[in-house]
């Protein structure tokens, strides 16, 4: 919460540190489709969006993809500790917004990430991205200590300790400082991360209904706005094969893996926008893959195992798209086929 003494101290301590490292870390670029390497089971790689307010989800995913050490569950757990997801508050010592930035720290890390023309700690996008930027700088800092033999321990633990007590304290003690508050903070964030981490392998959280070979990639029963087959493309005007099925759904709705498998591709592609491809191995003697397209955010990374119902990303309108929808494809031996019979439509 905003009155949390530990968090407030962390931002103040971080402010002094941040001024020193800023020139090195200010220009780390982040693309919408960039996702870190698979850190599942290490730093809680895949976000379970159930407890994240939907309007903040794209930012949590984006901020959690700036560096491999800081994943979306880390970002989410910290926001919970800082503000309890309540925006608009200022703590008694002056920490502001979702991520509870102190004004001095904000000066260093804040940017107009949401593109609304102002840099404001009460703009959720600006706040969450600044938090990711700051976390990543701390992670780099502690990895520098480790490589020089000046500190030891898991990078995430040392990063969280730095966030709470300042990196100087981690350097001084060569690890997590023996402060009760700091130790408590590390334990608290790691415990909260569990709640925000999806089970990314095994059976997953969903099931494939009887009589279907694939589960629906969206919950509920969203309308099919354009079926598979020949059509005039809404943007290019060219008559050609529509290689998938379109579901009309609002931006930000979670997209679910239709069957367990391995992510073979996750990133931005021309036309498809943010796209994830999952290989499901052999079904009925054929190699089967599914693809999920035009997403506003990607929640998995290449090589990651997913279960039925794992959230692979969020509905969006990236690439050649006229509005928010999911373009869902099924491939048999690399050929696009009609997804309808696969999902019982
Ligand atoms: Zn489509």
Of 2-6, 184-188, 308-312, the range with the lowest mean pLDDT is 2-6
Of 61-65, 105-109, 119-123, 226-230, the range with the lowest mean pLDDT is 61-65
What pLDDT score was predicted for residue 16? 35
What pLDDT score was predicted for residue 303? 85
> What is the 213 CA–ligand 1 centroid distance (Å)?
21
> What is the 151 CA–ligand 1 centroid distance (Å)?
51
For residues 20 and 146, state if they share a domain: yes
Catalytic, 82? Answer: yes
Phi, psi of 146 (to 5 degrees): -65, -45
Residues 126 and 114: beta-carbon distance below 8 Å: yes
Judge whether 219 lies within some domain. Answer: no
> What is the 291 CA–ligand 1 centroid distance (Å)?
11
Instruction: Tell me the mean pLDDT in the region 127-154.
Output: 96
What pLDDT score was predicted for residue 231? 87
For residues 178 and 72, state if they share a domain: yes
For residues 42 and 179, state if they share a domain: yes
What pLDDT score was predicted for residue 204? 55
Q: Confidence class of residue 203 from pLDDT cuts 50, 70 and 90? A: very low
For residues 239 and 182, state if they share a domain: no
Residue 52: give the domain boundaries. 5-196
> What is the 182 CA–ligand 1 centroid distance (Å)?
50
Judge whether 181 lies within some domain. Answer: yes
Judge whether 213 lies within some domain. Answer: no
Identified catalytic residue from 82, 140, 143, 260: 82
CA distance 136 to 140: 6
Instruction: Tell me the mean pLDDT in the region 180-198.
Output: 89
Q: What is the CATH number of the domain that holds 151?
A: 1.10.530.10
Residues 185 and 171: beta-carbon distance below 8 Å: no
Greater confidence (71 vs 128) lies with 128
Judge whether 212 lies within some domain. Answer: no
Render pLDDT for 242-261 as a digit per residue (tens, 0 to 9): 999 999 998 888 899 999 99
Q: What is the CATH number of the domain that holds 281?
A: 2.70.70.10
CA distance 129 to 253: 21
Instruction: Tell me the mean pLDDT in the region 232-251.
Output: 89
Q: Confidence class of residue 183 from pLDDT cuts 50, 70 and 90? A: very high
Phi, psi of 92 (to 5 degrees): -55, -30
Render pLDDT for 25-50 as a digit per residue (tens, 0 to 9): 333 333 322 233 333 333 556 788 88
Render pLDDT for 308-333 as a digit per residue (tens, 0 to 9): 988 899 899 999 998 999 999 999 99
Burial class (CB in 10 A: 0-12, 13-18, 19+), 129: buried
What pLDDT score was predicted for residue 205? 65
Residues 11 and 78: beta-carbon distance below 8 Å: no
Answer yes or no: is pLDDT of 82 > 70: yes
Residues 9 and 100: beta-carbon distance below 8 Å: no
For residues 184 and 237, state if they share a domain: no
What pLDDT score was predicted for residue 89? 92
Judge whether 121 lies within some domain. Answer: yes
- Range picked from 200-204, 230-234, 334-338 for highest mean pLDDT: 334-338
For the chain, the average pLDDT equals: 84
What pLDDT score was predicted for residue 68? 85
Two tokens at 144?
């520098």
For residues 249 and 114, state if they share a domain: no
Map the chain to HEC letters. CCCCHHHHHHHHHHHHHHHHHHHHHCCCCCCCCCCCCCCCCCCCCCECHHHCCHHHHHHHHHHCCCECCECHHHHHHHHHHHHCCCCCCECCCCCECCCCECHHHHHHHCCCCCCCCCCCCCCHHHHHHHHHHHHHHHHHHHHHHHHCCCCCCCHHHHHHHHHHHCHHHHHHHCCCCCCHHHHHHHHHHHHHHHHHECCCCCCECCCCCCCCCCCCCCCCCCCEEECCEEEECCCCCCEEEECCEEECCCCCCEEECCCCEEEEEEEEECCCEEEEEEEEEEECCEEEEEEEEEECEECCCCCCEECECCEEEECECCCCCCCCEEEEEEEECCEEECCHHHHCC
For residues 155 and 290, state if they share a domain: no
Judge whether 205 lies within some domain. Answer: no
For residues 232 and 112, state if they share a domain: no
Instruction: Tell me the mean pLDDT in the region 91-109.
Output: 93
Instruction: Decide the pairing of beta strands 297-298 and 286-295.
Output: unpaired
> What is the 153 CA–ligand 1 centroid distance (Å)?
47
Answer yes or no: is pLDDT of 130 > 90: yes
Render pLDDT for 288-308 as a digit per residue (tens, 0 to 9): 999 999 998 888 888 888 889
Map 138-178 to HEC letters. HHHHHHHHHHCCCCCCCHHHHHHHHHHHCHHHHHHHCCCCC
Q: Nearest to residue 67, comparing CAs of 20, 34, 112?
A: 34
For residues 23 and 152, state if they share a domain: yes
Phi, psi of 216 (to 5 degrees): -60, 140
CA distance 151 to 262: 36
């Amino acid at each position: 919460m905003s009155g949390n003494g530990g968090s407030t101290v962390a931002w103040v301590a971080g402010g002094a540190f941040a001024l020193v490292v800023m020139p090195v870390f200010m220009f780390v670029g982040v693309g919408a489709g960039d996702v870190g390497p698979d850190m599942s089971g290490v730093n809680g790689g895949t976000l379970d969006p159930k407890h994240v307010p939907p309007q903040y989800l794209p930012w949590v995913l984006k901020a959690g993809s700036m560096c491999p050490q800081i994943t979306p569950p880390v970002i989410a757990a910290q926001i919970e500790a800082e503000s309890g997801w309540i925006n608009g508050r200022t703590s008694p010592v002056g920490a502001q917004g979702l991520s509870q930035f102190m004004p001095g720290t904000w000066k260093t890390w804040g940017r107009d990430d949401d593109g609304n023309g102002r840099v404001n700690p009460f703009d959720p996008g600006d706040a969450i991205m600044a938090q990711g930027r700051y976390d990543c700088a701390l992670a780099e800092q502690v990895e520098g200590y480790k490589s020089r033999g000046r500190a030891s321990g898991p990078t995430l633990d040392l990063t969280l300790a730095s966030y709470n007590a300042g990196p100087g304290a981690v350097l001084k003690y060569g690890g997590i400082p023996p402060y009760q508050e700091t130790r408590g903070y590390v334990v608290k964030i790691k415990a909260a991360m569990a709640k925000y981490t999806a089970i990314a392998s095994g059976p997953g959280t969903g099931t494939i209904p009887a009589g279907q070979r694939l589960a629906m990639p969206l919950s509920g029963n969203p309308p099919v706005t354009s079926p598979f087959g020949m059509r005039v493309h809404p943007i290019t005007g060219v008559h050609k094969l529509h290689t998938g099925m379109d579901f009309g759904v609002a931006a930000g709705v979670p997209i679910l893996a239709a069957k367990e498998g391995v992510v073979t591709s996750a990133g931005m592609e021309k036309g498809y926008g943010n796209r994830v491809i999952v290989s499901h191995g052999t079904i009925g003697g054929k190699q089967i893959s599914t693809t999920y397209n035009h997403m506003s955010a990607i929640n998995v990374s290449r090589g990651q195992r997913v279960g039925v119902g794992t959230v692979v990303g969020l509905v969006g309108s990236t690439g050649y798209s006229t509005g928010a929808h999911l373009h869902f494809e099924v491939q048999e031996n690399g050929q696009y086929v009609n997804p309808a019979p696969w999902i019982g439509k």
